[in-house]
Amino acid sequence: MNLNDVLMMQSFFVNLALKNGSKELSKELKFKIINNRTKLNKYRKEFEEFIQESIEEFKTDEYKELSAKEDKTEKESEELKGMTNKLQSEVDGFINKVLSEEKDFELKFTDEELSELIDINSGIDATVNGVKLKTEDFLEQVYIMFS
């Protein structure tokens, strides 16, 4: 599984409810979710910190000076725009390379566990990466990812 898959899994995983009204997951399944949520969140945090640090390394001194300059001429603004486009292209390529790195992480649920998760999470809409999903779409993706 590559890092992109792990991060996508994390985006869905953090939306799984442990309780819905009077219905609650079994202690074993709650433990499994919390344990793996912690691991997945760690991958997300490490990725975000690494990318932030790496982006700074892509910025040249010339780029930093020009972007910090308050009163840019039209020529400088165009030059900065070109530098920004080049920087964005380099960063995008770097991020894609990082996201394709293989990670030693696997997470599957049994049919019984998935049934319990679906039961508890029925009727709960989720927002994944800023996109609001209907319950059935969210649960379908959870089933695909974790079965």
Q: What is the per-residue pLDDT across 78-99, written as a single tens digit (0 to 9) for each?
A: 999 999 999 999 999 999 999 9
Q: What pLDDT, on a 0 to 100 scale, did the predictor assign at position 77?
A: 94
Q: What pLDDT, on a 0 to 100 scale, did the predictor assign at position 52?
A: 92
Average pLDDT over residues 125-135: 92
How far apart CA 23 and CA 115 sit, in angstroms, is: 13
Q: What pLDDT, on a 0 to 100 scale, did the predictor assign at position 59?
A: 93
- pLDDT tens-place string over residues 102-113: 999 999 999 999
Show the 3-state SS of 78-128: HHHHHHHHHHHHHHHHHHHHHHCCECCCCCCCCHHHHHHHHHHHCCCCEEE
- pLDDT tens-place string over residues 33-64: 999 999 999 999 999 999 999 998 999 999 99
pTM, entire model: 0.83
- pLDDT tens-place string over residues 3-28: 999 999 999 999 999 999 999 999 99
